[in-house]
């Protein structure tokens, strides 16, 4: 993932600085995923990153600060994965299918995201809430746009967006994190979820 922006005057302004920040965030991912927030340490992060302890404080004031930045980084990664997979020519249902498939692939490649996001509920509730509210808003905007184009029902909003997000999150948990031999591939999973969105659960007349 590209290095996330950090607040204040600590945002790196050089390519070398951005690479160092990326190393720290990647190392923090490993440290927090393996040990959890409370057992993780700044020294463990810097050792894993292969950077001097002093370099850590160039970018972050504390373990809490890098954890918050990591949650933001992962949240941005989810959004970026979807954006990069979408094209302007896709219709509304294709957008939802492709966005879900992109998320499943992202979660499979970044399995630590579930542990870190879940732990943020207790370590930094504001970051936890912002993560889901940001994704929910993004989905809501897509549903509203689909309603305006006539591809979705009109009047869709936050409840439907959060329902879609909940479905996506648990599909990611089951098929990206708890993957089993013989599972459908991500394209098929996203397609089946797309049928559910399009047709609903009610019996259909043949």
Which pLDDT tens digits describe the chain residue by residue (206 residues)?
Answer: 555 545 545 788 899 999 999 999 999 999 999 999 999 999 999 999 999 999 999 999 999 999 999 999 999 999 999 999 999 999 999 999 999 999 999 999 999 999 999 999 999 999 999 999 999 999 999 999 999 999 999 999 999 999 999 999 999 999 999 999 999 999 999 999 999 999 987 775 65
Q: Which residues contact 24 (CB under 8 A, 6 or more apart)?
A: 45, 46, 49, 51, 55, 56, 59, 60, 66
Q: Which domains does the chain have, with CATH numbers?
A: 8-62 (1.10.10.60), 66-199 (1.10.357.10)
- With 0.75 as the threshold, say if the pTM is over it: yes
């Amino acid at each position: 993932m590209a290095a996330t922006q950090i607040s204040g005057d600590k945002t790196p302004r050089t390519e070398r600085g951005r690479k160092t920040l990326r190393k720290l965030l990647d190392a923090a991912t490993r440290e927090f995923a393996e040990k959890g927030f409370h057992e993780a340490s700044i020294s463990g992060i810097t050792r894993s990153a292969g950077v001097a302890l002093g370099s850590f404080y160039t970018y972050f004031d504390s373990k809490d600060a890098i954890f918050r930045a990591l949650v933001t980084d992962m949240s941005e990664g989810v959004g970026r994965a979807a954006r990069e997979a979408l094209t302007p020519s896709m219709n509304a249902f294709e957008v939802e299918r492709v966005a879900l498939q992109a998320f499943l692939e992202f979660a499979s490649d970044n399995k630590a995201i579930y542990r870190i996001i879940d732990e943020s509920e207790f370590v930094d509730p504001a970051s936890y809430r912002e993560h889901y509210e940001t994704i929910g808003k993004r989905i809501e905007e897509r549903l509203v746009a689909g309603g305006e184009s006539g591809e979705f029902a009109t009047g869709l909003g936050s409840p439907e967006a959060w329902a879609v997000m909940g479905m996506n999150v648990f599909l990611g948990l089951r098929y990206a994190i708890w993957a089993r031999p013989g599972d459908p591939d991500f394209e098929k999973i996203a397609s089946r979820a797309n049928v559910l969105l399009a047709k609903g659960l009610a019996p259909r007349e043949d």
